[in-house]
Amino acid sequence: MLETIKEWRRLLQARKWMKQNASFLPAWHAYVGYESDLFDAFAEGEEAATVAANRGLDPQLLQNWIDTGLVLGHLSRQEERIQTAPTMLQYVSKSSPQSVGALLHEMMELHIPTLLRFPELLKGEQKPSFENEKFGSTVAATSSLLEKLAFPKVSHWVKNSHAQSVLDIGCGHGGYLLKLATKIEGLKLIGIEQNEDVVLQARKDTSSSPDVSIEFVHGDFRQWEGPGEPVDLIMMNNILHYFSPDQRGVLLDRARQLLSKNGSVSMITPLYMTSSGKAFSAAFNNFMSSHENLYGFPTEAELETIAGEHGFRVKEKHPVIREGSWYFVGLEQA
């Protein structure tokens, strides 16, 4: 009898994990649709055989993907024609300016493969090095998804601090700088970015706005001589994971050297193990610590301590995406 009970408990546990694994299916389906451009292929309604033939796809695998999409509600069927659901076309299509497909790309091709290597890494396998030149554009694209939520807090900080000049370290495609240029007149704006392809894209994006003047520098902030004169605000958005805990102090010291007398620092960054974002920050730090050149995010207390040790104090701290543990942090010189 006892063995029977144990076996039933084992089966219930297996069922539990099987059901939890099902929650992965929508993300996988959306990722395949985005990467293979299938949501656009079925945008107007099309037969599966036609799409398979036109795009040189495996008919059986495509049909299986379609069946999954019908179950999930990502697709609908009208007789023999398959059509993409409006929300998927808007948010997961490559052709949509509102697409979040870059986030799916990063999750499936960076985060999950790395986390699946965790057992080997635990046993001492050499940690991989994060290839910034290869994945920099992907990271820049996903970081830009935060801008709409984070920018109002950045803009508020710029206005309240009366900043006349802004330096963005790790500026990515320059989204924050471009938004500042269009919202606040007269700002001197400089962005520095280590990935050359990302810098070229930032310059291209800015060139479409002839009234906007932003200086983009290709280089490593730690080795850069700096702007010609002190700046009033230094932004550090989504860059802490590139600096070890010891080097974060060096980063703040370098910022102090480039700041004007009353200059300040602002950050958009996850914070580790906040009350409402523990699961996300735990997963993120596991990913970061699995690379030899990436580092986990600090807790709120750790950030306050390191700021204090290097001449700053935390003046403001506001959640940007609470469940994701993303925060806006404003530092002023002590």
Domain with 88 in it: what CATH number?
A: 1.10.10.10
pLDDT at 210 over 80: no
Q: Is 311 inside any structural domain?
A: yes
Lowest pLDDT segment from 15-24, 130-139, 145-154: 130-139
Same domain, 206 and 324: yes
Q: Is 83 inside any structural domain?
A: yes
Q: Is 130 inside any structural domain?
A: no
Same domain, 61 and 197: no
Q: Is 117 inside any structural domain?
A: no
Same domain, 46 and 170: no
What is d(CA 214, CA 212) in angstroms, rounded to the nearest whole number?
6
Q: Is 154 inside any structural domain?
A: yes
Same domain, 69 and 213: no
Same domain, 149 and 294: yes
Q: Which residues form the domain of 323?
A: 137-333
Total domains present in the chain:
2
Same domain, 16 and 165: no
Q: How confident is the model at residue 277 (pLDDT cuts 50, 70, 90)?
A: confident
What is d(CA 161, CA 136) in angstroms, rounded to the nearest whole number?
31
What is d(CA 294, CA 118) in angstroms, rounded to the nearest whole number?
15
Domain with 275 in it: what CATH number?
A: 3.40.50.150
Same domain, 292 and 205: yes
Same domain, 192 and 246: yes
Q: Is 273 inside any structural domain?
A: yes
Q: What is the pLDDT of residue 5?
A: 83
DSSP 25-94: HHHHHHHHHHHTTHHHHTTT-EEHHHHHHHHT--HHHHHHHHHHHHHHTSEEEETTEEEE-HHHHHHS-T
pLDDT 10s digits, 32-62: 999 999 999 999 999 999 999 999 999 999 9
| pTM, entire model | 0.84
Same domain, 198 and 314: yes
Q: What is the pLDDT of residue 28?
A: 97
Same domain, 322 and 204: yes
Same domain, 20 and 87: yes
Same domain, 146 and 54: no
Q: Is 285 inside any structural domain?
A: yes
Q: What secondary structure letter does DSSP report for 212? A: -
Cβ–Cβ < 8 Å for 174, 212: no
pLDDT 10s digits, 161-193: 999 999 999 998 899 999 999 999 899 999 999
Q: Is 265 inside any structural domain?
A: yes
